[in-house]
A and B are shown apart, each in its own frame.
Chain A
Amino acid sequence: DGGITQSPKYLFRKEGQNVTLSCEQNLNHDAMYWYRQDPGQGLRLIYYSQIVNDFQKGDIAEGYSVSREKKESFPLTVTSAQKNPTAFYLCASKDRDVGEQYFGPGTRLTVT
């Protein structure tokens, strides 16, 4: 069964702690993306990666970091520098030829 998995589904952290969200895909897609979704707002791009060992900042990268050591994996770290980290985080990947983006089930992060 091909798809994108994100874990965990729910994550709770205390303010000041770093936390890493997992994203794995077995679709053999080159490009992967992290979006953030807040109530009443559209999805906003945090980071993206077109190929292994390369990634670029999106529109709201401050306070986040990523790595892309394997084609299948694109973990996102929410650092203590992110001022408002509580949100729903969505990972996506894209087939280079078709251009359609596929999304994972999301991780809801709550920081108190």
Chain B
Amino acid sequence: KQEVTQIPAALSVPEGENLVLNCSFTDSAIYNLQWFRQDPGKGLTSLLLIQSSQREQTSGRLNASLDKSSGRSTLYIAASQPGDSATYLCAVRPYGGATNKLIFGTGTLLAVQP
């Protein structure tokens, strides 16, 4: 059974620092991995989608990597800003099956201090 873990559960950093969020999954048979951002009381905003054949994706100050063989993904945020404060969720789409469902981690709550 696929399980997704995100460590740490919470992280506080000073503004301007570069940081890395971690996501691990137990079964490497995935179709893709998606990183989301969630602000308090809001829906999820998709940040980056990495297909299983890709090693990384970049969008602005965000860079996500994927190592399927080790069951790991990282989200790198450069030059963090207070506006980056949110919960970051990763989710994998298991390979095969009919649901196309995502399996989510419990998230990392990020606080960027001004």
- CB <8 Å contact, B32 and A42: no
Given contacts A42-B105, A100-B34, contact A50 B43 (CB under 8 A): no
Q: Mark B24-46, 1 if CB is under 8 A from A, else 0.
A: 00000001101010000111111
The answer to the question of A27 belonging to the interface, with a C-beta cut-off of 8 Å to chain B, is no
Q: Is the interface of B mostly helix, strand, loop or mixed?
A: strand
- CB <8 Å contact, B101 and A45: yes
- CB <8 Å contact, A100 and B43: no
Alpha-carbon gap, A6 to B43, bound state (A):
10
Q: Which residues on A sit within 8 Å (CB–CB) of B31?
A: 99
- Number of cross-chain contacts by CB at 8 Å: 63
The segment from A14-22, A63-71, A72-80, A104-112 found at the interface with B is A104-112
- CB <8 Å contact, B100 and A94: yes
**Size bracket, chain B contacts:** 20 to 34
Q: Mark B93-114, 1 if CB is under 8 A from A, else 0.
A: 1000011111111110000000
Given contacts A98-B49, A99-B49, A100-B49, contact A41 B106 (CB under 8 A): yes
The answer to the question of B89 belonging to the interface, with a C-beta cut-off of 8 Å to chain A, is yes
- CB <8 Å contact, B43 and A105: yes
Alpha-carbon gap, A106 to B98, bound state (A):
25
Task: Kindly identify which residue among A41, A42, A50 contacts B98, using a CB–CB cutoff of 8 Å.
Answer: A50
Alpha-carbon gap, A44 to B106, bound state (A):
11
- CB <8 Å contact, B104 and A101: no
Task: Kindly identify which residue among A43, A58, A101 contacts B46, using a CB–CB cutoff of 8 Å.
Answer: A101
Task: Kindly identify which residue among B41, B45, B93 contacts A99, using a CB–CB cutoff of 8 Å.
Answer: B93
> Which residues in B have some Cβ–Cβ distance to A below 8 Å?
4, 31-32, 34, 36, 41-46, 49, 51, 89, 91, 93, 98-107
